[in-house]
Structure 1
Amino acid sequence: MELASAVLGRAEIFEREPLDHVVARLSWRDGRLDAARAAVTAAVAAAPAGGSVYLPVSASVSADHAERRDVAQACGFALFQEKEGFWWADTGQAIPDPVGLRLEPMSRIGREPFAHVIAQCVAQTLDRTDALVFGRRQPEQWVATFLDHHASGADAQSWLYAETPAGVPVGFVGLAQRESDPAVGTIVLIGVLPEQRGRRHVDRLLLAAYRAARTRGFAEVQSLVDVANHPMTAAMLRSGADSDADPWHNWLYLISAPAAESS
């Protein structure tokens, strides 16, 4: 939106995996939320007809996240997913052994043992974005792409495959270095096989992740959890992670681009 050659608001739209199209780089002059709304509306109109358009908002990136959420809602976006950030600090506290699990890092055993277990876990995930993307791809393709992005190099040492002492698969946890801070780790994916759930294995996997974080020298672990994933939220709180200690909180809004007019 421009007035007398002054740009009052700007938004861009990108085609981006794993989402269809994303509104990004939203900015506006102070007090000109009308310009922000106009810019977002124009960006949505530029998307392919009938396609899905997402607008992400992050509290850790944007101090004005409340206004951004208001703009999204005023432009007709619906909240697709909300994620809560959890913060665990290594203060030198005792981290118990994850009793009852045998753990092997990807750096030692390779990717193959992980592939089937990850696919089974994610097929029943409570994370809405992961479920959306997983449903659009072949399981093997989803797993391979995800590991390419999050389990390469040094991070392979803190992707842990879990089984019982008898060798029965249980699940996995993937801890990676946070891209923006080499002193911080993040749990990018964690899963327990459906037949192994209800036994507090997730608590043991979180302990394993925190022990791996200490081994790698991370001062803290920051992770995001879908607020609709109540079992994972409860497990994070049981592990000592704090949802109030860090502003890491994300919202993802969704709208369908207007359908093409019939001639």
Structure 2
Amino acid sequence: MRYHPIAADQTDRAAEYHAAGPVPAVSAAEYRAELQARQYRPEWTWFAEDEDGEFLARAVWWGRADSAYPVALDCLHVRDGAGEPAALAAELLAAGHAAFAEAGAERPPLYNILALPGDWHERPDVVAAVEWRVEAARKAGLTEENERLRLEWTAGSPVPEATGRLVFTEADDEAFLEVFRRIAVGSLDVNTRRELAAMDAERQAREDMAFYLDAPGERSWWRLAHLPDGTLAGMAIPSATPYHRNVGYLGVVPEQRGRGLIDEVLGEITRVHAAAGAERITATTDTVNVPMAAAFTRAGYRVTERRVILEAPRPA
């Protein structure tokens, strides 16, 4: 078996690769569009090829147009009858990870098992398809697992009205950095808790802030949230992906939690995007973060899919 990225003249073959099963695959049209946008690339599209030249498994990694390395694995499929899928897929992922590390990537890309239906845990065919992918990812070093909801607000849905309970203002980077540090304390977000277990609060705050500064959204959208008397309450970071306006980052400082202020913060983000004419606002939250999921529901967001995310442990 040979594991390798495709050549530049093999993109049509990569796009047309037949991928059956209950976990959705990247379609030929989607693959070509992302390739055109440089978010898929030949060197990020890997195959397991047998001695007869047949492609038995495909792994498609995604990155931003200006990324030096891929950010996430979007699609992983093994052809029916090709053997034990977890073992074959694990070898394919390991080969890709090794190549990315040799090129300078500090960590392997995470793996998003995308577009899972809301009831996937009750569907044996989907459970089996997810299980071998999780096993493959773990064998390839992606040992941390989380499940998240993808939600969206669409034009025509009610826009939460400002109540006056919070005042939203601009601030400089140092002020936001301090609020990143404070909001992380006691957070229910799985990724934040893992980061704080692997690094100090200062580094964690700086890395989170750097991520949102690098996102497609505008820095000018960011707002701190205060009570009318000037007491800090939290922050709202409307952001964007390469595809849609996005909720980004939001939170309430520990001493102000439990008062329903997260609804006010989320409402501000929604208003910013809606006022700009957004047709769709996307968001994600962990399935275990029940209060945040409930806030999205109250604000008119609906769950569109579930995702299982696997990634490598963070270096200390």
Task: Please tell me the TM-score bracket, short chain as reference.
Answer: 0.7 to 0.9
Q: What residue number does 1:150 align with? A: 212
Letter in structure 2 aligned against 1:70: E
1:72 deviates by: 2.2
1:250 aligns with 2:313: no
The answer to whether the 8 A contact 1:87-1:221 is kept is yes
Give 5+ residue unaligned stretches, structure 2: 2-49, 62-70, 99-106, 117-124
Question: Structure 1 residue 194: deviation in Å?
Answer: 0.9
TM-aligned CA distance change 1:39 to 1:11, over 3 Å: farther
Matches within 5 A, 1:48-197: 55-59=111-115, 68-75=129-136, 77=138, 80-91=145-156, 93-105=158-170, 109-151=171-213, 155-180=218-243, 184-197=244-257
Aligned in 2, Cα 1:219/1:65: closer, same or farther, shift over 3 Å? Answer: farther
Offset of residue 162 of structure 1: 0.4
8 A Cα contact 2:137 2:310, kept in partner: no
Correspondence 1:38 to 2:38: no
Q: Does the residue aligned with 1:27 lie in a helix, a strand or coil?
A: strand
- Is the CA contact (8 Å cut-off) linking 2:251 and 2:262 kept in structure 1? yes
Compare 124-133 and 74-83 and name the one that shifted more: 74-83
CA gap 1:255/1:217 in 2 versus in 1, 3 angstroms = closer
* Equivalent position SS for 1:214: helix
Q: Please report the TM-score for the alignment, with normalisation by the length of structure 1.
A: 0.74
Give the superposition deviation at 1:164: 0.7
Identity of aligned residues (%): 19
Q: Over aligned residue pairs, what C-alpha RMSD do you find? A: 3.4
SS at match of 1:96: coil
CA, structure 1 residues 179+11, in 2 after alignment: closer, same or farther (shift >3 Å)?
closer
After superposing the two structures, state which structure 1 stretch, 123-132 or 225-234, moved more.
123-132
Q: Which residue of 2 aligns with 1:261?
A: none
Secondary structure of 2:83's aligned partner: helix
Q: Please tell me whether residue 204 in structure 1 is matched to residue 284 in structure 2.
A: no
Aligned residues, how many? 235
Shift of 1:171: 0.6
Aligned AA (2:200):
Q
C-alpha spacing 1:242/1:76, structure 2 compared with 1 (3 Å): closer
CA contact (8 A) 1:9 1:35 kept: no
Aligned: 1:28 with 2:28:
no
Check 1:224–1:8 CA distance in 2 against 1; reply closer, same or farther (3 A cut).
same
Q: Secondary structure at the match of 2:307?
A: strand
Shift of 1:82: 0.4
- Report the 3-state secondary structure (helix = DSSP H, G, I; strand = E; otherwise coil) of the residue aligned with 1:86: strand
The 3 A distance-change label for structure 1 pair 215 and 34 is same
1:225 Cα offset (Å): 0.6
Contact (CA 8 Å) 1:10, 1:36: kept in 2 or not?
no
Which has the higher mean CA deviation after the structures are superposed, 165-174 or 36-45? 36-45
CA separation in 2, counterparts of 1:118 and 1:128?
Answer: 15
Q: Shift of the alpha carbon at 1:124?
A: 1.9
Task: Indicate yes or no: 2:69 matched with 1:7.
Answer: no
- After superposition, the C-alpha distances for 1:81-134 in whole angstroms (9 at most, x for unaligned) are 1000111123274531142111013xxx22122111211112322121222123
Deviations 1:198-251 (A, max 9, x none): 1000011111111111233212211001000011011111111111xx34x310
C-alpha distance 214-73 of structure 1, shift in aligned 2 (>3 A): closer
Letter in 1 for 2:295: A
**Inter-CA distance 148–22: structure 2 relative to 1 (3 Å threshold):** closer
